[in-house]
Amino acid sequence: VSGRRYGVGVWAFGNLGDRFLLDGYRPDAPADLETTVRSAAEIPHLHGLEVNVPIHTREVGVDRLGRLLSDAGLACLALGVEVTADARWRWGSLTSADADVRADAIAVHKEAMDAAAELGAGMVNSWLGQDGHDLAFQQEYRASWDRLVEGYREVARHRPDVRLALEFKPREPRVRSMVPTTGMALLAAQETREPNVGVTIDVGHALHAGESMAQSAVLAARYGRLFHLHFNDNGRGWDDDLPVGTVHTVEMLELLAWLRELGYEGAYSLDLFPFREDPAAAIGHSIEVLRGLERLLDRLGGAALVRDLRQEDALKLHRRIAAAMLPSD
Amino acid sequence: VSGRRYGVGVWAFGNLGDRFLLDGYRPDAPADLETTVRSAAEIPHLHGLEVNVPIHTREVGVDRLGRLLSDAGLACLALGVEVTADARWRWGSLTSADADVRADAIAVHKEAMDAAAELGAGMVNSWLGQDGHDLAFQQEYRASWDRLVEGYREVARHRPDVRLALEFKPREPRVRSMVPTTGMALLAAQETREPNVGVTIDVGHALHAGESMAQSAVLAARYGRLFHLHFNDNGRGWDDDLPVGTVHTVEMLELLAWLRELGYEGAYSLDLFPFREDPAAAIGHSIEVLRGLERLLDRLGGAALVRDLRQEDALKLHRRIAAAMLPSD
Amino acid sequence: VSGRRYGVGVWAFGNLGDRFLLDGYRPDAPADLETTVRSAAEIPHLHGLEVNVPIHTREVGVDRLGRLLSDAGLACLALGVEVTADARWRWGSLTSADADVRADAIAVHKEAMDAAAELGAGMVNSWLGQDGHDLAFQQEYRASWDRLVEGYREVARHRPDVRLALEFKPREPRVRSMVPTTGMALLAAQETREPNVGVTIDVGHALHAGESMAQSAVLAARYGRLFHLHFNDNGRGWDDDLPVGTVHTVEMLELLAWLRELGYEGAYSLDLFPFREDPAAAIGHSIEVLRGLERLLDRLGGAALVRDLRQEDALKLHRRIAAAMLPSD
Amino acid sequence: VSGRRYGVGVWAFGNLGDRFLLDGYRPDAPADLETTVRSAAEIPHLHGLEVNVPIHTREVGVDRLGRLLSDAGLACLALGVEVTADARWRWGSLTSADADVRADAIAVHKEAMDAAAELGAGMVNSWLGQDGHDLAFQQEYRASWDRLVEGYREVARHRPDVRLALEFKPREPRVRSMVPTTGMALLAAQETREPNVGVTIDVGHALHAGESMAQSAVLAARYGRLFHLHFNDNGRGWDDDLPVGTVHTVEMLELLAWLRELGYEGAYSLDLFPFREDPAAAIGHSIEVLRGLERLLDRLGGAALVRDLRQEDALKLHRRIAAAMLPSD
């Protein structure tokens, strides 16, 4: 699709580890933002990056970050709020019962909102990794939801010119996240009563939550709150952050058709964790698949494929799609 | 808890089958409502029944149904809307694209609202089994949601004196249901803008959807829409409708603690499918477990157990609970 | 692939129901075998059918069944053992603690072995739907496994000229099946020490069990026991028996590549449950997808695609596959 | 149960992290083995520890490790083979296509076998975290299984006096593990044809794999290969390594009953990951629950509870169990 903007979160380029290999799978991966930006600039069709506050903004400063990106011909697509990667958030951030921790989490959010304005991104992505619980009898569900909504409201009012996108996730690193589904994210966003609070649909989180990616997008758009998208793939059992199209082909096509029909004009930002794979290859493949699916969609009639859809016709569409993807006799 | 009212959906007494045994596992099960009501009346601590419209109301008539129940000393707790068990609903009911089918589904809902008023239940439980999809490219997510909300709004306005409780479910019989989670059910309820539209939390559906049963209840109560509860159990992989407590003990206790804290005063209605087991035993065991957990909760301090809960103290509570449940040296 | 034989289980043509609609979704579906065979004969590239013993063999008699099929130009690919669809099997069949029930289950198996010889199928598919458990403290795991192995040994020795393929399944209709995975099916087959006992890999059961379909096939072939295959699709959360390719594309291609590499020459038999869809369309689509994937595989080098595979090259292969499936610029 | 030996893997005491917090949740956790052993010695009813080779054996030397443990009054229960926590294993260890990597993995296994003999543990636990795949078209399933079996055979023959226990796991850190289920672990163990190769059943891995923990134990014992057990808990969606009894009560009791019936005399070793919780509390709670369940089992008749179990009686047993656990009127 002409004009479709592809992006990626910079973490994909780093030395990623897990609980069994904390030192990371690619110890020689670049640790600094400058090298990362240069690597990103070489990936075909990559329009921009998603960076984290405060990690990346403090590493080089917001001004210099902006110049780095523009020198590399890349946009800043969104600012991620980083309230996960420090032991101080271990019992929660924005919803913590500890007033100091909560105040700090709000401060990071506001810093991200400011940076988003300054860098022209206009978008903050807020994923609260440490908010939730691991055990029954651990989370005070009522008070923590109060704090969630109040926190987001305060952040949203801080910069009404910047969009604040809540990224739900069913679980991980907590056994159950505070905001696990599209439905709950939309409830929280609506309860703030602020127009600049919406949701990020990470398609891998939607798959893991058992959602239809397309239905989730339609519902978020319905309430005027489909702000941002994260693309990746998984087999519905975990948020594996695999390259797009390595598992799902037909359901991804359905999502793309609906995004056209909804007139979504935001970025298609990749959230990948290529622990062992080459990041450029993982990103490149994902973009190729997304672009290939868009071309496939063009051939199949575009958004018309899902407009006025009738239940009875599903299999006919599947046959048309298969005929367009697979070689004929 | 003194005054806690336990109920059960009458289908638990029937000859239940599945796709591999359509004739049912207990061919000698009673097929008529009178025998069922008599069997139910013998179950200790059973306060009332949930019956389906139009199946049960038309079998004997609403008046006679009311007398049957009162003669047996049982209350009518809720009227279930039956828009699943007929091939005409196969592509959906309230959200069907077929105007006639939709009109019929609305008519059944209104009939249920009327019966709920007449029988003193004041509660209609609406589960839309056939609304959703089996395949990608099958559901027109936008228009079907329009029809969902409009349908419920019309039904709610028909009888503002009766509560209309939406029962979400992740899937089955469709591969993905129209309203799969607590979050989405609450979004639909809110969008109607009618105060008598709320949700039923079937705890087995919540488990299957990966939700915390307690968080779901807290959230529904937050928006004033926790209308009804269905109890059963499963291992989070499917809506098995097993007897309460056969899988989950601690999480069920957490839910009961929160229901006290929330001041929930509705019925604890069982939704069981004892395909092969004796229904009276399945129901009896479920009620015993619920009552036993209530007594356990009494010993542990009641709602105080979850009020002012701190993340750091979860394991301490688990140790207290285990000490109260398991024999000591 | 020239010579690849496609088949389907006859149940796909019937009036399928589920626990919420026991009367079935297509009440006008043909109930008799003759009509079914005629419908099947019209489906392009369909080589043969899988029928059940005793249901179908007794409906028309084994002789007449053979003539019906040959007159229609169809082969009998396998005989399914039907020990599920009657309430007498409700607590198990081959592994039942009731000696009479067990003897009957063995008798049905032997009848199927005989029919398989007579009809030239040479293959019996044994799926024990009712063997397993719904609750903890229900199954005597040790004695039931004894009975499993002894039963299969007796059946296998009854007709050493016929292959007996055990079809594992993680669950349904029991909450947990007796033989839930490829690994357990192979253990049981090996324990019989009979060479004509092997396994059926229903790819949907493998997906639901979290297996790699291809690894399961490789392992079964390793032990000389990959006897039969059932094709369908699902989203890994349940055995939905959807048409092939409606969910998985790349993983299905991987399986087909491995089946070539393994030299598997058996049938590709469809096990579909098109509750609401037209059976001919569901079967036709599945065969088209399988044939299209075979042609795609031809283009990509066939079995060489998985022979000498290196971990490091996976993403390169995915890029080649995507390039061959999706339109280029 | 008198004489039941409880243990724990030493990693539970460390500063545990995950992919989002590589620096760990408890930065002040002790990093050295001496402090860990001292902490462990203070936990009531803890009989011994499970340590890893080469990490822990090289940290202090095998001799000194033995003295540390005996001075603290602790036994060495098993030696874990550590072939996960280094980037060199990233594409696999024992099954790697790289002959050098594979040789190193075998060397580590042999070192563990020697240490197990020297320390009197007599048991090596082998979990191959990095062997498996993340993507389709990544693993050469046939050759990698060859290498798995050959590798284990070589290691087993190195020390026939030490038991080599294969620990299956469905996934993590790879998206799909080489040996994902009890069934596959038993197939591999049997194929080695060495009597000192068996399996470890990590009950959390069994839960995550959808297995019945008890059936898995029964099956492993059937083939004389139930060598070792890891205890923890989770909600069947992931290997959360939570304290025992925080999720499952009844199913854990069923497992304990079967372990008695099987005459299992090995250790009950805890494999916990208390990221945020106090390790001593997590371990202490787990042992208390296991001991409490043993006492509950005593009251209920011990192994007789599962011996001669009849399918029809399950609910009766559940009622007896509930009556023994929950307060009565």
Alpha helices in chain A, H assignment, sequence order: 33-41, 55-60, 62-71, 99-118, 141-158, 182-192, 203-208, 213-222, 250-262, 279-299, 314-325
Interval B114-156: pLDDT, tens: 999 999 999 999 999 999 999 999 999 999 999 999 999 999 9
Are D246 and B328 inside 8 Å of each other by CB? no
Q: How far apart are CA A98 and CA B192, in angstroms?
A: 37
* DSSP string over C120-133: T--EEEE--TT-EE
The answer to whether C155 and C163 are in contact (CB under 8 A) is: no
Closest to B244 (Cα-Cα) out of C174, D204, D257, D322: D322
pLDDT greater than 80 at residue D192: yes
- With contacts defined as CB-CB under 8 Å, which chain D residues touch B319? 281, 284-285, 288
pLDDT greater than 70 at residue B2: no
The answer to whether D195 and D214 are in contact (CB under 8 A) is: no
Provide the shortest C-alpha distance from residue D74 to chain A (in Å).
26
Confidence band (pLDDT; 50, 70, 90) for B42?
very high
* DSSP string over B39-92: HHHTSTTEEEEEEEETHHHHHH-HHHHHHHHHHTT-EEEEEEE--SSSGGGTT-
Tokens of C62: 């084994």
Q: How far apart are CA D201 and CA D185, in angstroms?
A: 10
Interval B222-278: pLDDT, tens: 999 999 999 999 999 999 999 999 999 999 999 999 999 999 999 999 999 999 999
Question: Quick one: chain D helix, strand, coil %, rounded to 5?
Answer: 45, 15, 40
- With contacts defined as CB-CB under 8 Å, which chain B residues touch A181? 181, 183-184
Q: Average pLDDT, stretch A156-180?
A: 98
Q: Partners for A (CB, 8 Å, 3+ pairs)?
A: B, C, D
pLDDT greater than 70 at residue A2: no
Q: How far apart are CA A171 and CA A208, in angstroms?
A: 9
Cα A68–Cα A69–Cα A75 angle in degrees, nearest 5: 165
Decide which of B97 and C2 is more confident.
B97
pLDDT greater than 90 at residue A289: yes
Mean pLDDT of chain A: 97
Radius of gyration (C-alpha) of chain D in whole angstroms: 19
Interval A62-78: pLDDT, tens: 999 999 999 999 999 99
A83, A148, A152, C71, C282 from A160: Cα distances, Å: 21, 18, 12, 75, 51
Q: How far apart are CA D321 and CA D249, in angstroms?
A: 10
Q: Average pLDDT, stretch C142-163?
A: 98
Provide the shortest C-alpha distance from residue D101 to chain A (in Å).
15
Amino acid at D193: R
Q: How far apart are CA B210 and CA B237, in angstroms?
A: 9
Closest to D250 (Cα-Cα) out of B251, B230, C90: B251
Q: Which residues of C touch B (CB under 8 A)?
A: 16-27, 84-87, 90-91, 129, 134-136, 171-173, 175, 234-235, 237-238, 240, 242, 246-247, 273, 275-277
The helix (H) or strand (E) run that includes residue B165 is strand B163-167
Q: What's the residue count for chain B?
A: 329
Q: Average pLDDT, stretch A18-24?
A: 98
Cβ neighbours around B59 below 10 Å, total: 15
The answer to whether C283 and C10 are in contact (CB under 8 A) is: no
- With contacts defined as CB-CB under 8 Å, which chain B residues touch C90? 21, 25, 275-276
Tokens of A167: 């990224």
Share of residues in chain D with pLDDT > 70 (%)? 99
The answer to whether D254 and B289 are in contact (CB under 8 A) is: no
Interface predicted TM-score (ipTM) of this complex, two decimals = 0.97
Are A24 and D24 inside 8 Å of each other by CB? no
Kindly give, in sequence order, each residue whose CB lies less than 8 Å from that of residue C70, ignoring residues fewer than 6 positions away: none
Among A284, A292, A328, beta carbon nearest to C327: A292
Cβ-Cβ pairs closer than 8 A, B with C, add up to: 108
Kindly give, in sequence order, each residue whose CB lies less than 8 Å from that of residue A3, ignoring residues fewer than 6 positions away: none
The answer to whether A285 and A279 are in contact (CB under 8 A) is: no
Tokens 């604040």 correspond to what residue? A164
Tokens of C162: 């016929």
pLDDT greater than 60 at residue A240: yes
Q: Is the dihedral of CA C35, C38, C43, C46 positive or negative?
A: positive
Q: Between β-strands C176-177 and C132-133, what pairing exists: parallel, antiparallel or unpaired? A: antiparallel
In a mutational test of the D interface, the residue from C101, C141, C320 whose CB has the highest number of chain D CBs within 10 Å is: C141
B292, D250, D290, D304, D316 from D301: Cα distances, Å: 22, 15, 16, 6, 14
Cβ-Cβ pairs closer than 8 A, A with B, add up to: 153
Radius of gyration (C-alpha) of chain C in whole angstroms: 19
Q: How far apart are CA C327 and CA C126, in angstroms?
A: 43
Q: How far apart are CA C144 and CA C188, in angstroms?
A: 12
Q: Where are the beta strands (DSSP E) in chain C?
A: 6-9, 46-53, 75-81, 123-126, 132-133, 163-167, 176-177, 197-202, 226-231, 268-270
Q: How far apart are CA D297 and CA D300, in angstroms?
A: 5
- With contacts defined as CB-CB under 8 Å, which chain B residues touch A321? 137
The answer to whether B24 and B50 are in contact (CB under 8 A) is: no
- With contacts defined as CB-CB under 8 Å, which chain A residues touch B183? 181-187
Amino acid at A319: R
pLDDT for residue A116? 98
Q: How far apart are CA B306 and CA B215, in angstroms?
A: 12
Tokens of C81: 């053992």
Tokens 């059976």 correspond to what residue? C279
Q: Average pLDDT, stretch D180-191?
A: 98
Q: How far apart are CA A105 and CA A92, in angstroms?
A: 9
Among C25, C84, C175, beta carbon nearest to B90: C25
Are A173 and D275 inside 8 Å of each other by CB? yes
- With contacts defined as CB-CB under 8 Å, which chain A residues touch B254? 136-137
- With b for 16 or more beta-carbon neighbours within 10 A and e for fewer, the B268-280 pattern comes to bbbbbbbbbbebb
Q: How far apart are CA C242 and CA B154, in angstroms?
A: 35
The helix (H) or strand (E) run that includes residue C323 is helix C314-325
The answer to whether A311 and B89 are in contact (CB under 8 A) is: no
pLDDT greater than 90 at residue D5: yes
Q: How far apart are CA D49 and CA D44, in angstroms?
A: 13
Please give the residue of chain C at the shortest CA–CA distance from B24. Answer: C87
Are B292 and D322 inside 8 Å of each other by CB? yes
pLDDT for residue C296? 98
Q: Which residues of A touch C (CB under 8 A)?
A: 210, 235-237, 243, 245-251, 277-278, 281-282, 284-285, 288-289, 291-293, 295-296, 298-299, 314-316, 318-319, 322-323, 325-329
Strand partners, D8: D49, D270
Q: Partners for B (CB, 8 Å, 3+ pairs)?
A: A, C, D
Q: Partners for D (CB, 8 Å, 3+ pairs)?
A: A, B, C
Are B288 and D243 inside 8 Å of each other by CB? no
pLDDT for residue C2? 63
Mean pLDDT of chain B: 97
Among A210, A214, A312, beta carbon nearest to B209: A210
> Could you give the 3-state DSSP secondary structure of residue B23?
coil
Cα A218–Cα A223–Cα A228 angle in degrees, nearest 5: 65
Tokens of D151: 């590798």
pLDDT for residue A162? 98
Backbone φ, ψ for residue C153 (5° rounding): -65, -45
- With b for 16 or more beta-carbon neighbours within 10 A and e for fewer, the C264-282 pattern comes to bebbbbbbbbbbbbebbbb
Are C19 and B17 inside 8 Å of each other by CB? yes
pLDDT greater than 60 at residue D1: no
Q: How far apart are CA B165 and CA B199, in angstroms?
A: 4
Q: How far apart are CA B220 and CA B197, in angstroms?
A: 11
Are A20 and D173 inside 8 Å of each other by CB? yes
Interval D229-246: pLDDT, tens: 999 999 999 999 999 999
Closest to B14 (Cα-Cα) out of B285, B273, B249, B195: B273
pLDDT for residue A1? 56
Strand partners, C206: none
Q: How far apart are CA C54 and CA C314, in angstroms?
A: 46
> Could you give the 3-state DSSP secondary structure of residue A194?
coil
Are A141 and B212 inside 8 Å of each other by CB? yes
pLDDT greater than 90 at residue C282: yes
Are B322 and D245 inside 8 Å of each other by CB? yes
Interval C31-57: pLDDT, tens: 899 999 999 999 999 999 999 999 888
pLDDT for residue D195? 98
Tokens of D122: 């007599």
pLDDT greater than 80 at residue C254: yes
The answer to whether A161 and A117 are in contact (CB under 8 A) is: yes
Evaluate the omega torsion of the peptide bond into residue C160 and state whether it is cis, within 30 degrees of 0.
Answer: no
Among A136, A142, A307, beta carbon nearest to B254: A136
Are C87 and B246 inside 8 Å of each other by CB? no
Decide which of B182 and D2 is more confident.
B182
Strand partners, D226: D199
Interval D30-82: pLDDT, tens: 889 999 999 999 999 999 999 999 988 888 999 999 999 999 999 999 999 99
Closest to C285 (Cα-Cα) out of C237, C243, C241: C243
The answer to whether A68 and A60 are in contact (CB under 8 A) is: yes
Amino acid at B200: T
Confidence band (pLDDT; 50, 70, 90) for D2?
low
Amino acid at A228: H
